[in-house]
Chain A
Amino acid sequence: MAVTHRVVVTGTGWITPLGHNVEEVWQRLLDGHSGVGSTTLFDASTFPTQFSAEVKAFDLADHIGSHAERHSSASRNSQLAIAAAEHAWQQAGLRQWTALNPARVGVYLGGGEGPVDFENFAAAAVAGQLSAVEKGQSAMDAAAWGAVAAKRLDAMREFEQEPNLAAAHIAVEYNAAGPNLNTLTACAASTQAIGEATLIIQRGDADVMFAGGTHSMIHPLGVTGFNRLTALSTRNDDPQHASRPFDRARDGFVLGEGAGMIILESLDHAVERGANILGEIVGYGSTADAFRVTDIHEDGRGPVAAMRQALTAAGMTPADIDYVSAHGTGTSENDKIETLSIRQVFGDRAKNVSVSSIKSMLGHLIAAAGVVELIVCIHAIRDSVAPPTANYQTPDPLCELDYVPNEPRKMKIRAALSNSFGFGGQNDALIVTAPPSA
């Protein structure tokens, strides 16, 4: 048999629309607070959706002091990721561990593309189009585009849009010389990154991994894309109640932004240095719908297979799972098919398992959503409390599960399952438990 190392979590950090401190944000989630408000990062006042869940009052120097200077040209994504990494690194206590081998420390992120330099991007595209019309060409006049681009595009702002940059910044900041990867499987990305990082440690290719994600699509092109897909809620008169996972009156997700990071470590490595262990990743499943680009398979084939893979990897049955952190975006289709999928996997136990979506409060952090939800699972297990699904008012006959409506629930949680699904039929599931007993 191949060697398999057990993988534990020894640090957590996040920068979210409800704050930057792990314990404070966790409490706000239990209290049902909302991080949603009018969009301020750009003038969205005429867009179909004029609100979002923004990270507030963020300054990288508040998190890493004078080191922030060298990351000053980093994109918002990279800066959020570095800050989240710092919190996780500090909690893990690895800065003090002098025996750490940098070549055995890696990074696996689900990092999104950096925000577009929209004003200049649009100006160049318009110049290309107007010139094409003038010349009677059907395609854009690239020469006219280029003339404007040469004057207006900034080298570093363009460079920092590459999705692998956040992981690269972290490698330098923390001298993490080992495996360094980024996956961008849409809204499933950071769950997939944690799963893949877990596999890397399991098979012995690293001792310690930064795993998580970062994303901000709160820019004109991002909101344009989601609005055109009619994926976003347009409840402009009541933004704080717009994210309504599993509620009959749901009308789409609320776009959020942020970053989350966990430190994964082989159990042996964590025990050797006497680390404070926060939880154990015991299962990971990943599948493709292989159905349609635009639709989820109506039977929930992919999500069902991903959850079952995770259970098999954990050596568990549905009877071992007490809490499910749903992908729960608040779109009509996702919530219906996720419910159906959970019911298939859990069978008779489905009505006894607590399922909630913190996207009701934080919005949808896209590539960063999964890691934030996994950190929530770790705290739910620690404090024996399931966070609520806020804004749950009217049951939907197509969504019949116990969604922990509006109030947190004190309950023993032995193991939690965290789902993330992405456009294009990406399905990922993780199972986390309490730390191994000493």
Chain B
Amino acid sequence: MKSGERRVVITGLGVASPLGIGSAAFWDALMERRSVVRRITAFDPSTLMSRIGGEMPDFQLRDYIPKSHRKSVKLMSRDITLAVVAAHVAAMDAKLPTRSLVDRGDLEAGDLDPTRLGVNIGAGLICPDLSELGEAFATALDDSGQFDLKRWGRDGINNLTPIWLLKYLPNMLACHVSIIHDAQAMSNTVTCGEAASHLAVGEAYRTIARGMMDVCICGGAESKLNPMTATRPALMNRLVTDGDDDPAAACRPFNAERRGTVVSEGGGLLVLESLEHAQKRGARIYGELVGFGCAANTYSWIDPDPTGANIALAIKNSLADANLSPADIDLAGLCATGCVEHDASEMVGWRSVFDDAEKVDCAAVAVKGGLGNNGAGAGGIDLCAAVLAMHNNTVPPSVNVDPVDEQCPFAFAGNDPIDRRIDVLVSVAYALGGGQSAALVIRKVTE
């Protein structure tokens, strides 16, 4: 936060994850050290390089949208659906009287200016539904049964629904959320892999601080549970390929024996608003966003920087923005995907923030061991976990971290959660591919 700018607070959390939908279910799952990673059931994964992942529990989309949006469900890919669910959960948690919540009868109409409500949602490279495309492609085969581009252009193309493209544009997550909740202010879509949620929340924070809007639904959502999106990271040797016997233990963040990450799906969205706006409507305040920093990997667009320089710079910038020092951090929210080199880079990055101290008096939380990595939505889920830890003054257990890598400067909660007052947390994220990195500093608001 810079001098002369407005204070920005978090008033709503919207988790839609394999570990549960809504803060209560999600928090219970964290406290119970649950891992929901298992053999993929959404499709037959038997010939894929990695066959395990974290899948959402069953839910009914109609529980999360107004009647007026039901006809638009056919325009929603899985990624859009996850963002819509998370946005509803976040707005409900914030008791924010958006058009949808009022129309649905969930909340009484209130004083909310739609032209001051914005959306900034991190999104991934959405892969089309392969069944839908395959069925259409199969109408354009030549005599030997091979796909024929000429036949496709002439006739086959007509077998694809006219609105097909609109399901797969990354900005359609934000678009549907803006329509459902009548958010007419700025709408942005950050597409930076696992860093997308943090970058979206950071940008939203700075935009509200400088008065361009009052409230923003921000974070990210993505589904990697599509044969193609579950294959891409495997081709880059980033997925656990031998986790079939014990899927729940496959993703091992910061573990000395880690061997990759696993795919997942879900969304994590937050409601941010100016302190003044939150106070005026008597909203519950989880914490104040006081710092944002981001940086690039200048070492490689493919591999993590072994010096962790991009992660360290993001954290240092966020602390400088917050006018805090590393010693002030009570909780480190880790990106910790379980990838061998990426986790090493993150550990080195964190350590350099603490002047390479071997151990620091700072708790840490890593949630991907229990639910996997859902790309652009992962950071939003990480942020919700960290903010809940602050809210409950409890560090939840991190699944599958033992035996912890000796390079890790943090102590994790083991089998049992740790009671600890958390006044300041720093949450970090970086893109596995591309290396964009971001850090957010959140501070408890005391009366």
Binding site for B on A (CB under 8 A): 1-3, 42-48, 102-103, 106-107, 111, 113, 121-126, 128-130, 132-133, 139-147, 149-150, 153-155, 158-159, 161-165, 167-169, 171-172, 175-186, 192, 196, 199, 203-205, 220, 224-230, 286-294, 301-302, 305, 422-426
Contacts and interface: CB of A to CB of B under 8 A. Distances in A.
B189 to A, nearest CB: 5
A199 B119 contact: no
A149 B231 contact: yes
B131 A185 contact: no
Interface stretch (B10-18, B22-30, B174-182, B266-274): B174-182
Contact of B235 (A139, A159, A220): A159
Nearest to B292: A205
Contacts, number: 304
Given A183-B191, A288-B184, A424 B160 contact: no
26 contacts: A45-B153, A125-B133, A128-B134, A132-B134, A139-B131, A142-B130, A147-B47, A150-B47, A158-B235, A164-B193, A169-B301, A171-B296, A176-B296, A177-B295, A177-B296, A181-B294, A183-B189, A183-B190, A184-B189, A184-B191, A205-B206, A228-B165, A288-B175, A293-B176, A423-B169, A424-B175
Given A129-B137, A292-B179, A146 B46 contact: yes
Given A126-B147, A140-B130, A172-B301, A162 B210 contact: no
Nearest to A171: B296
A155 B235 contact: yes
Contact of A288 (B145, B183, B317): B183
B300 interface: yes
A126 B166 contact: no
A181 B207 contact: no
Q: Which residue, of A107, A150, A176, A302, has the highest number of chain B Cβ atoms within 10 A?
A: A150
Interface in B44-100: 44-49, 72, 75
A423 B166 contact: yes
Contact of A129 (B123, B134, B235): B134
Given A172-B297, A225-B165, 7 more contacts: A143-B46, A146-B47, A168-B433, A184-B191, A228-B160, A424-B169, A425-B175
Interface in B81-129: 114-115, 118-119, 123, 125
Contacts of B301: 165, 168-169, 171-172
Nearest to B47: A146
B186 A287 contact: yes
Interface string B154-165: 100100111111
A204 B206 CA distance: 11
A124 B47 CA distance: 13
A288 B147 contact: no
Contact of A177 (B44, B169, B172, B310): B310
B187 A287 contact: yes
Interface stretch (B1-9, B31-39, B279-287, B402-410): B1-9
Interface size of B as a range = 35 or more
B149 interface: yes
A184 B162 contact: no
A113 B171 CA distance: 12
B125 A288 contact: no
Given A147-B47, A225-B164, A305-B115, A164 B436 contact: yes
A153 B236 CA distance: 12
B130 A145 contact: yes
Nearest to B431: A164
A154 to B, nearest CB: 8
Of listed B46, B185, B313, B436, residue having the most chain A CB within 10 A: B436
A139 B150 CA distance: 25
A220 B153 CA distance: 8
Nearest to B209: A2
A132 B235 CA distance: 25
Contact of B171 (A140, A185, A291): A185
B309 interface: yes
B94 to A, nearest CB: 18
A177 B188 contact: no
Contacts of B181: 290
B43 A171 contact: no
Contacts of B46: 143, 146
Contacts of B153: 43-48, 220
A186 B171 contact: yes
A288 B166 contact: no
Contacts of B244: none
A172 B193 contact: no
Interface of B: 2-5, 43-49, 72, 75, 114-115, 118-119, 123, 125, 130-131, 133-135, 137-138, 141, 145-147, 149-154, 157, 160-166, 168-172, 174-176, 178-179, 181-193, 199, 203, 206-207, 209-210, 227-228, 231-232, 235-236, 294-302, 309-310, 313, 317, 431, 433-436
B134 A126 contact: yes
Contacts of A171: 296-298, 301, 435
A358 B435 CA distance: 35
B429 to A, nearest CB: 13
Nearest to B199: A181
B227 A159 contact: no
Contacts of B313: 103, 177
A181 B192 contact: yes
A291 B175 CA distance: 9
Given A129-B137, A172-B301, A178 B296 contact: yes
A182 B123 CA distance: 11
Contacts of A290: 114, 178-179, 181-184
B436 A161 contact: no
A228 B157 contact: yes
Contacts of B188: 183, 185, 192, 196, 286
Contacts of A294: 75, 163, 166
The 6 closest A-B pairs by CB, nearest first: A225-B165, A424-B175, A129-B134, A146-B47, A180-B296, A46-B153
Nearest to B118: A288
Nearest to A179: B294
A163 B125 contact: yes
A410 B138 CA distance: 55
A110 B168 CA distance: 17
B163 A165 contact: no
Contacts of A125: 130, 133-134, 137
Contacts of A147: 47
B190 A159 contact: no
Contact of A142 (B48, B138, B182, B190): B48
Contacts of B134: 125-126, 128-129, 132, 140, 145
Contact of B299 (A172, A186, A204, A425): A172
B206 A203 contact: yes
A124 B127 CA distance: 14
Scoring B134, B160, B185, B295 by chain A CB atoms within 10 A of each residue's CB, the highest score goes to: B134
Nearest to A147: B47
B135 A129 contact: yes
B48 to A, nearest CB: 5
Contacts of A293: 72, 75, 166, 172, 175-176, 179
A145 B45 CA distance: 10
Contacts of B206: 199, 203, 205
B99 to A, nearest CB: 9
Contacts of A220: 149, 152-153
A424 to B, nearest CB: 3
Interface centre among A3, A42, A140, A199 (most CB of B within 10 A): A140
